[in-house]
């Protein structure tokens, strides 16, 4: 870790030198933008603020081309300086007059579309950009959680100084997050003092919710505390999320089997099942026994939750570079196209549903009466 910190300091000094050497305003804007996209702005606040202030005071004319005009507008607006939309709107007007539409390349289109999200009341840039580029679908940074995009930008040029610094910073923060999650899993308030405030709030929300549920069950049902059982499933859930966080940090794509061995737990199925059984049961021992003795059906129900969720979110997660879904795992493992992988996952959902029906039928035979079962619902293709 010390070696990484030493290397990071050397790389920071090199980036600072690059700031001082750059004279072209466009190149400096692009450097500021890249630093922001790589989540490194906190290292270079002084250099960035100074550069942006100098450009704002100089009243630069950056409206010669759409990309430069939009980047200038967006960076200055992002840092709280006034920048007029007029140059961009004029370029849009001229393009529409000449060609009857805006025929700019994707780089310019994306920059203007992102800039438009920093418009204010009384300005028309957002509406103009939306109208001009409606047929093009862009992944707009203002609508995303920026941290999820870092990995995508990190791999664009792995040999540059700034990208090496981004890799070191990213890995250091991921290690810290994993250590923080390990502390949360201990379920001991005395162990969380060193955690960041955001994670402390997460811990206390989970801690208070579990305790509130425990007290509510005790008051309504007259039972002894069920908190040890609640803690057990919540700790299992957090550990499953930690496994996925490690996959994401390492850039690892597990096999589909390995993914599902963890995924049925991270689906929250076991957590939901225990809470439902405790809420509907007549005593603690009966409810906990029902949970322990029916792990097979809980397992398959949880798989259905996980796989259906993956069907709906896989594309967005793949674009963001999130930890892989079942669809992505199968695509990479079996070397197949997305549609074929989706078909395989739909088959797994059907298989789990059939197995649940079989388990219920066996239970009905033993018990001698019918058990109500939910109707199958459609899931995203």
- Residue-wise pLDDT for 57-84, tens only, equals 887 777 778 899 999 999 998 888 888 8
Which has more pLDDT, 109 or 63? 109
Are residues 320 and 144 in contact, defined by beta-carbon separation less than 8 angstroms? yes
Please write the tens of the pLDDT for every residue from 122-163: 888 878 877 776 545 554 444 444 555 666 666 655 668 988
DSSP per position, 342-372: HHHHHHHHHHHHHHHHHHHHHHHHHHTS---
| Helices and strands counted in the chain (H then E) | 17, 0
Q: What is the pLDDT of residue 230?
A: 96
Neighbour count for residue 62 (Cβ, 10 Å): 21
**CATH superfamily membership of 2-163:** Terpene synthase, N-terminal domain (1.50.10.130)
User: 191-367: which CATH topology?
Assistant: Farnesyl Diphosphate Synthase (1.10.600)
For residue 55, CA distances in Å to 76, 78, 82, 103 come to 8, 13, 11, 29
**Domain range summary for the chain, segments of one domain joined by +:** 2-163, 191-367
Please write the tens of the pLDDT for every residue from 174-184: 777 667 666 66
Secondary structure letter of residue 336 according to DSSP:
-
- Domains 2-163 and 191-367 alike in fold: no
Q: What are phi and psi of 95, to 5 degrees?
A: -65, -40
Q: What is the pLDDT of residue 278?
A: 94
Residues in the chain: 381
pLDDT at 381 over 60: no
Please write the tens of the pLDDT for every residue from 14-50: 999 998 899 999 999 999 999 998 889 989 999 999 9
């Amino acid at each position: 870790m010390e070696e990484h910190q030493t290397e990071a300091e050397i790389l920071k000094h090199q980036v600072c030198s690059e700031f001082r050497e750059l004279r072209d305003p466009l190149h400096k804007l692009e450097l500021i933008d890249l630093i922001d996209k790589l989540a490194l702005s906190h290292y270079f606040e002084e250099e960035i603020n100074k550069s942006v202030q100098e450009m704002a005071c100089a009243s630069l004319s950056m409206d010669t081309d759409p990309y430069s005009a939009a980047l200038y507008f967006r960076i200055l607006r992002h840092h709280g300086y006034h920048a007029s939309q007029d140059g961009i709107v004029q370029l849009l007007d001229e393009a529409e007059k000449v060609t009857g539409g805006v025929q700019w390349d994707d780089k310019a289109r994306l920059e203007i579309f992102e800039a438009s999200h920093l418009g204010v009341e009384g300005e028309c840039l957002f509406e103009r950009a939306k109208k001009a580029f409606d047929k093009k679908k862009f992944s707009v940074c203002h609508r995303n959680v920026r941290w999820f995009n870092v990995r995508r930008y990190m791999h664009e040029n792995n040999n540059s100084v700034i990208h090496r610094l981004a890799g070191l910073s990213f890995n250091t923060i991921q290690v810290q997050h994993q250590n923080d999650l390990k502390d949360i899993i201990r379920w001991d308030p005395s162990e969380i003092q060193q955690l960041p405030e955001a994670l402390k709030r997460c811990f206390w929300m989970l801690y208070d919710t579990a305790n509130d549920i425990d007290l509510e069950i005790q008051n309504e049902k007259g039972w002894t505390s069920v908190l040890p059982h609640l803690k057990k499933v919540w700790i299992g859930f957090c550990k499953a999320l930690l496994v996925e966080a490690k996959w994401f940090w390492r850039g690892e794509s597990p096999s589909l089997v390995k993914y599902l061995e963890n995924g049925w737990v991270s689906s929250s199925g076991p957590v939901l099942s225990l809470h439902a059984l405790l809420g509907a049961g007549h005593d603690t021992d009966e409810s906990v026994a029902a949970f322990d003795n029916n792990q097979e059906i809980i397992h398959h129900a949880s798989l259905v939750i996980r796989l259906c969720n993956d069907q709906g979110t896989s594309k967005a997660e793949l674009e963001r570079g999130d930890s892989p879904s079942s669809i992505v795992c199968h695509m990479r493992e079996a070397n197949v196209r997305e549609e074929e992988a989706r078909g395989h996952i739909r088959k797994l959902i059907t298989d789990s549903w059939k197995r649940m029906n079989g388990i219920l039928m066996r239970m009905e035979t033993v018990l001698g009466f019918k058990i109500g079962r939910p109707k199958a619902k459609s899931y995203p293709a």
